Amino acid sequence: MKPHAMDSGRVLTRRQAIAAAAGPYLAAVAPSALASSPPLVSAARCASYGEAVMPVLRKMFEQLGGIGSLVAGKTVAVKINMESPLRERTGFRPAWYSRWTHPDVIRAAVALFAEAGAKRIRILESSCEDDHPLEENFILGGWDPDKILKAAPNVEMENTAGLGYGKRYHRIEVKGKPYIYPGFDVNHSYVECDVMVSMAKLKEHRILGLALTMENMLGITPVTIYGESAGYEEPALRPYGRRTMFETGYRQPSEPSPKEVDPHSPRDPGYRLPRVIADVLRARPVHLAILDGIETQTASETVTVEPGLGRKIRLVQPGVLIAGLNPVATDAVGAAVMGFDPLADRPKPPFERADSFLRLAEEAGLGPRDLSKIALRGDPLKDLRFSFREQL
């Protein structure tokens, strides 16, 4: 194993170097908002993208009690949802109408964070395809990243599929008893921040049933360590491939990243994936969760549906934005808007193929999924409901 020199002159192993690097930052990431009870979630009608987004999002943030205390003077990391393949579209519709967080929502949030005093705003996503700068991946999809970068001062982007602009990976550890992994090694961006925002699309998932703000956080794990082309002896130099190991457990992450606590646990993706999500969220808590449901697609989080599912991808316009200070509560509201019971569990919809990640997250102490325990603000839920399974 190669030795790694540290600032002090001490020589550490690579494993020690990764673990030690995370230390100074972890104290800064405890989410105070998680303690609020009942957690606030705002849901509102927003019929279209463009200029319509900003006033709706502003009002939603106000309904959450304002975001000034959360972001003022802070470095805000925004994990967006930019599902690969980057150059693929649903029909002629660009990916931000179906699978990606729409750039207009990102832009509006960025402007509001800056307005509330954020010191630095970092837009983050890991590509399963390449190590391009994130700006290039926006262009590949067909969007001009400058529209986001110029929405406020001090806005940056980084592709976190590998080391990115960092020099080493940083260890984040699961608080409490882990389900699958005791910790993860991640790009520097997820520890060198004060506030973590998960900004996802309101959409379905082929295994989990739902792909919302919590599932979006799976994407903070580097593809170089957890992707199909991850190295064994050490992280791959370049990222490629999906994080199939989270689903099937066919292998362990690259050395020296933390291995599964029980390699004999079930290899069923429906068992593993929701638990890995709860582990990631306990290792890297989310302070603000935002769901873009203005336009989206049904049936799949990718451009194809699972064979045998019997459903087709439909482009739909639920016309909804949801934001909350707790990701479990926010996703529970998202599930309800999509026409599902957030208290349901396998095998009831939408959890036919997986244990409910909402239940597992709740049991892990991450937040409530019961709507009666959530302080819902904004438009009445019954007016926002858009049943995904009824879109034939």
For binding to other proteins (CB under 8 A), which residues are involved?
A: 85, 87-89, 91-92, 94, 96, 103, 129-130, 132-133, 136, 139-144, 229, 240-241, 303
Q: What are phi and psi of 150, to 5 degrees?
A: -95, 10
Strands 155-159 and 296-297, how do they pair?
A: unpaired
- We find the least distance from the C-beta atom of residue 94 to other proteins, in angstroms, to be 6
| Cβ-based nearer residue to other proteins, 29 or 294 | 294
200: CB partners within 8 A, 6+ apart: 80, 81, 101, 211, 212, 213, 215, 216, 289, 290, 291, 292
Q: How far is CA 25 from the centre of its chain?
A: 20
Least spacing, CB of residue 144 vs other proteins, in Å: 6
Question: Which residue number, 228 or 379, has a Cβ lying nearer to other proteins?
Answer: 228
Min separation Cβ 164 and other proteins, Å? 12
Supply the minimum distance, in Å, between the C-beta of residue 20 and other proteins.
Answer: 26
Contacts of 222 (CB under 8 A, 6+ apart): 126, 160, 161, 162, 163, 169, 185, 186, 187, 235, 239
Strands 375-378 and 320-324: unpaired
Residue 320's Cβ-side half-sphere holds a number of Cα atoms within 13 Å equal to: 33
Instruction: Report in angstroms how near the CB of residue 296 gets to other proteins at its nearest.
Output: 17
CA-CA distance, 36 to 24, in Å (whole number)?
26
Nearer to other proteins, 92 or 250 (CB): 92
Between 140 and 336, whose beta carbon lies closer to other proteins?
140
E strand or H helix at 324: strand 320-324
Of residues 183 and 227, the one with the C-beta less far from other proteins? 227
Tokens of 157: 């982007």
Query: What distance in Å separates the CA atoms of residue 312 and residue 304, rounded to the nearest whole number?
Result: 9
Distance CA(197)–CA(78), nearest Å, equals: 5
Which CB sits closer to other proteins, 169 or 240?
240
**For residues 177 and 251, which CB has a smaller minimum distance to other proteins in the complex?**
251
Q: How far is the CB of 342 from other proteins (least distance, A)?
A: 34
User: What's the min distance (Å) between Cβ of 92 and other proteins?
Assistant: 5
